[in-house]
Amino acid sequence: MASLITCPHCGVRPKEEFAIRGDASRGRPEPMDSDEAWHDYVYVRANPRGRTFEHWHHIAGCRRFLVVERDTATHEVYSVVDAVEFLQRAER
């Protein structure tokens, strides 16, 4: 249990309690956007090295979606916020 994530609702927890959904920075296409846009959104994944934003679902804890800002190479964690707060910050 080396990888620890500090959930804003539950405190420090091992990664085993989370399900990782992936990139949190890309927006969802509009319903009538092209098939290519939807295909990219649903199936195409980058595999970035370095600092990224990811959705982590605290499935065995508070069951909230979180946005974890971390380095994919070193697993240094820079910030963890609730996904709702992440959205509100992006809209501001």
Q: In whole angstroms, how close is the CB of 46 to Zn ion at the nearest point?
A: 27
Q: How many Cβ atoms sit within 10 Å of the Cβ of residue 66?
A: 27
Q: Which two tokens stand for residue 50?
A: 């370095």
Residue in 45, 49, 63, 92 binding another protein, rule: CB under 8 A: 63
CA atoms within 13 A on the CB side of 40: 10
Q: In whole angstroms, how close is the CB of 9 to another protein at the nearest point?
A: 5
Cβ–Cβ under 8 Å, residues 12 and 58: no
Q: Does residue number 65 form part of the binding site for Zn ion (CB under 5 A)?
A: no
Q: Does residue number 44 form part of the binding site for another protein (CB under 8 A)?
A: no
Q: Does residue number 64 form part of the binding site for another protein (CB under 8 A)?
A: yes
